[in-house]
Amino acid sequence: MFLVRSVSLTRVPGLRLTYLCQNIASKQWYSQEPIEQEVTFGKLAEEASLILKSSIDRGVALEKFQDHDALDKMEAKIADTYRPRPSDYLYQIHQFLSKNDLKSALNVLERDMRQEYVKPAVGHFRLLIHACGKVGHVRKAYELYKEYVSRSLDWNHGILADMFNACANASEKPYALAKAKQLRLNLAKRNVQMSKVTYHNMLKAFGRCGDLELAFSILDEMKTKNVLIDSETLNHLLHGCVSDKEAGFRHAIAAWKLVEKKKVRPDSFSYKLLLRATQECGAGDQSFYYDILLACMTVEEAREHRQKVLNSGQAQSQYQPGPNNGEMIENGLQTVDRSQLVANQANHLPNVLHQKPNLNGVIGLGSLLTPQNRFLILGGLDGFFAHLKSQKIKPDIITFTLVLNLIPDNVQAEADLLQKIGHFDVKPDIDFFNQLIKRRAMRKDYAHGKDTLQLVNKFGLSIDIMTYGNLALCCDSRVSALDLLRDMEENSYKPTIEILHVFLKGAAMRKSPRDVLLFMQIMDRNAIKPNPRVLKTLEKFNQIFKNLVKQWERGEKDLYQLPKPMHYEVKNGFEYWTKFAHFYKSWLRKTEMDPLEHPLKQYLTDKDMKKADEGVPYLKRIIDHSDS
């Protein structure tokens, strides 16, 4: 017979289960033998109360010996069922990134999740590395990637693509190139099969960081591993070519023809990138111009063309192959001795965009130093748009805006381009006309620059602040500048620091203290803070005019040898020069200039600030904005 005593024990804070079991065992809560003694009513509850009191006293005594170390805190956090989950922090990171608040998003991972002992997942690293890649924060991206790898999480191709994207967008190109090479080597050792997107970002990274040779070898690797090569592949490679300002145009043509031989058809964006390379990049050393022609030929055609060049009588009569001038094969193209070729400005220039351009009678290329000359071998205005039409690609206004800077710098060429816009039934936007105004102002054709507003009204467009900024370049006097400011005020536009700097620069070039003083006062009334460019312009004017005054006082120059504003100053006792000097000194004392901060300073987290205090060099450079 079993007699069991039941008792209701309340939950006691700090009471350990082990000690309860020992206490229960010592009091013999149950017995296999029948209890012969008589049970008195109320005695059971009295005994239970004594047991609980003893256990509580023992628990209080044990609490005195607990040290509450980090392990206890971690166990307490983990035991808290109401603490945030990984998905909650993922949502927080997403919310911060949607507001472009990368610093707060990084603090969620580096501070909040660590404090709550929440283990991050692949999604947390995916979002943060992607955001770091967009802004080019390559050091933080690699710090996150290192933690991601150390946690042995599943491989994510998106993270790998974002890592190379961070290198492509980084401002520290040498560091980014070294990290990109290191990452590519590690992936090759792990035998990671990379996706098409990863390869594309890799092309862009190595191209932008200055290693186009490696970028072209990656293109061959894609073909070897049967990764699809398409127009998007070409676009990423062209991004890298545009970054090479010295020889990017030549590399862009080589990439274009190489991908074309792989039966890839460029898209509309490809042509825009090619136009950018034409405008912004040179063709490199003139001795390499012949490579542009070789890129348009097959190996056999290159041999025949080289022989024609050597037999034309315009090359050197004797040709001795050697280690530096012999022929060699590179990437499926045959290059020949460049020193034997004569760069000749031929009357008939080939259109290298054609699949098989007509190279009969062409033995070389002339100067490609200007964007206009480089655009000629793309067919010029007529040939380029004829090629687009043959490829069934309709140009948009962005294409025409890019072409605007590649045509001859005169009104007739601009009129021909406007005619092309109408032929393709494309409606111009205000950005196109803003560029047209700036282009005319740069060649000091102020009258046609202002007349552009008639075209703006003709197409029913509204001017914006950029239009006023470009019109400011057309103001060559104080009167025209004040008229523009008056028009801005009537249309509810406030002058910007850029517009006023244009006026200040013009006044300084006219050597007019009166005009400089006027525009400084306008800045002061509108509470516009100067930037370093404004201060540099003012200080340069101050020194130049001060030297003019000294030269006149010493008799080194006659009055007719000085600028016209100086005549007024001499006749009126340097009225405005004296006012400018006093105002300039007081203006410098009270004017606050917005400090220039490092672009990555806004993304520094609490963890980064602690590391900077510990003396981490690159973080201190970001905070102090000092280059080393």
Task: Record the tokens describing residue 450, joined without a space.
Answer: 């202002």
pLDDT, position 68: 54
Per-block mean pLDDT, blocks of 10 residues, the chain (628 long)? 39 42 45 47 55 53 53 66 84 93 91 88 94 92 93 89 93 91 92 91 92 91 91 93 91 91 91 95 84 79 73 45 33 34 45 80 76 91 92 94 93 94 93 95 92 92 93 92 93 91 92 92 88 88 87 75 80 87 84 66 76 71 58
CA dihedral in degrees (255, 258, 262, 264; nearest 10)? 40
Measured CA to CA, the distance from residue 438 to residue 469 in angstroms comes to: 9
Residue 416 is predicted with a pLDDT of 94
What was the pLDDT predicted at 611? 73
What is the pLDDT, as a whole number, of residue 599? Answer: 73
User: Which H or E run includes 397?
Assistant: helix 397-404
Compute the distance between CA of residue 354 and CA of residue 379 in angstroms, rounded to an integer.
9
C-alpha torsion angle, residues 268, 274, 277, 280 (rounded to 10): -50
Dist CA 166 CA 133 (whole Å):
4
pLDDT at 263: 87
3-state secondary structure 441-463: HHCCCHHHHHHHHHHHHHCCCCC
pLDDT at residue 330, as a whole number: 33
Asked if 384 contacts 371 with a C-beta cutoff of 8 angstroms, the reply is: no
509 to 477, 514, 515, 538, 565: CA distances (angstroms): 11, 13, 11, 11, 11
In the 3-class helix/strand/coil scheme, how is 485-498 assigned residue by residue? HHHHHHCCCCCCHH
493, two tokens: 């536009």
8 Å CB contact between 468 and 492: no
Are the C-beta atoms of 336 and 327 separated by less than 8 Å? yes
Q: What pLDDT shows up at residue 344?
A: 38
Residue with tokens 């933080």: 140
Amino acid letter, 402: L
